[in-house]
Amino acid sequence: MTENERAARTLKHVLQKPGNGSCADCGADNPECGSCSLGVFICLGCSGVHRSIPDLGKVKSLRLSHWEDSEVQFMSERGNDAMNAVYEAALPVYYYKPTHRDFNLADRPALQSQKITQICLTKTNLCSRDGMLMKRGRDNGQFLNRRFILSLRDGTLKYYTKLDAKVPKAVIKVDTINACFQPDKIGNPNGLQITYLRDNITRNIFIYHDSSREIVEWFNCIRAAQLHYLKVAFPGATDAELKPKLPRSFLKEGYMEKTGPRQTEGFKKRWFTLDHRRLMYFRDPLDAFAKGEVFLGHRDHGYHVTIGLPAGTHYSGTWQYGITIETPDRSFLFTCETDTEQKDWMSHFNAVMNTRMSPQEYTEKILKHEHEGD
């Protein structure tokens, strides 16, 4: 066996270790490259970024490059879990690490400037931000350049329709925001959906920026501002307790049919979004306002979900896989297109209803009456 064959065999062994089976940066399965500068395994997309950073540039292909015994030894002593623990230790708690799922594949190399971001971040003040973003018009669906200002002092995100406007078009309280990357829904690789509450009703805005770096920085700024407010609101809470409240991806989105409160109305197809305990529905995935919203509490407080529709339901829809949700006030009837969708929604509803409610969630439940459009 030559030295190179021996090195290749050992390298295979190192790859089997926990953490090394997915890219250290973006989490994509089966990384194709190794960084001999850092001792981490990364995907081809992320390797481009490593190559572009001086000092981190020593990247090799696992399959095609010649590996020295000493390099394999280096990889073996380090590896993804150990090295990320070191490099990510300094990241602020609000910092969201983008994954390969957040962005379209083609744009991933640009996004993965996060390695640089990670290194610069602790030195940068991410508190407030002022800049232009493309925002989807509510009525015509056209994206237009709008000025956005995030102010940590006011705890608000504002946007203006004209550059020199004195009065903002909207003032969004930072503590009501959820934000998540939605490249497919928005039709842009850097698409970000911002969801917030106004007059107790969920509102959406859809934005993007041509630079993925810009959009990730806006996203992290919103998280930073929110964490600041959460710390004020819950002085005793630890970072670990607060982190799940920061902007997060929705648990599930998709179409179902629903009937109205009297359950004699026809079933209508609606777009549903499950954001932890809030099940919202929209006529169209890109609607600005939710047509309605259902709060999902713990089963001990009268919340239940069952498969199928109650016997005798006057069913007028086209989909046959029913789901019934009971709340203390009433029941909601839904139908899914396939049994796979039905099972998937069921497992999410069950997971939420099996999770104990926090004291804040009780308050939220009282504040947030269920509302229903159609």
Neighbours of 102 (CB within 10 A): 25
Cβ-based nearer residue to Zn ion, 19 or 261:
19
CB of 262 to Zn ion, least distance (A): 51
Q: Which tokens is 23 given?
A: 């890219």
Task: Give dist(CA 84, CA 63) in Å, integer.
Answer: 23
Cβ-based nearer residue to Zn ion, 45 or 191:
45
Question: 3-15 and 69-77 helices cross at what angle (nearest 10)?
Answer: 10
CB of 33 to Zn ion, least distance (A): 9
Report phi then psi at 274, rounded to 5. Answer: -105, 110
Beta strands in 249-372 (DSSP E): 252-258, 268-275, 278-282, 292-295, 304-307, 321-326, 331-336, 371-372
Cβ-based nearer residue to Zn ion, 105 or 307:
105
CB of 20 to Zn ion, least distance (A): 13
CB of 145 to Zn ion, least distance (A): 31
Cβ-based nearer residue to Zn ion, 103 or 349:
103
Nearest in space to 58 (alpha carbons), one of 88, 86, 36: 36
CB of 28 to Zn ion, least distance (A): 5
Residue bearing tokens 């602020």: 92
CB of 67 to Zn ion, least distance (A): 20
Question: Which bin fits 19, alpha (ψ -120 to 50), beta or left (φ > 0)?
Answer: left
CB of 106 to Zn ion, least distance (A): 13
CB of 32 to Zn ion, least distance (A): 9
Cβ-based nearer residue to Zn ion, 23 or 227:
23
Cβ-based nearer residue to Zn ion, 103 or 281:
103
Cβ-based nearer residue to Zn ion, 25 or 217:
25
Q: What one-character DSSP code corresponds to residue 328?
A: S
Cβ-based nearer residue to Zn ion, 111 or 207:
111
Task: Give dist(CA 111, CA 319) in Å, integer.
Answer: 40
Cβ-based nearer residue to Zn ion, 112 or 202:
112
CB of 64 to Zn ion, least distance (A): 18
Task: Give dist(CA 282, CA 185) in Å, integer.
Answer: 14
Q: Which tokens is 242 given?
A: 């607060």
Beta strands in 199-357 (DSSP E): 201-208, 252-258, 268-275, 278-282, 292-295, 304-307, 321-326, 331-336
Residue bearing tokens 């390099």: 71
Half-sphere exposure of 249 (CA within 13 A, CB side): 13
Sheet containing 371-372: order of strands: 304-307, 321-326, 331-336, 252-258, 268-275, 278-282, 292-295, 371-372
CB of 79 to Zn ion, least distance (A): 15
Cβ-based nearer residue to Zn ion, 40 or 246:
40
Which amino acid type is present at position 286?
L
- Which stretches of the chain bind Zn ion, using CB under 5 A? 23, 25-26, 28, 43, 46
Secondary structure of residue 326 in the 3-state scheme: strand
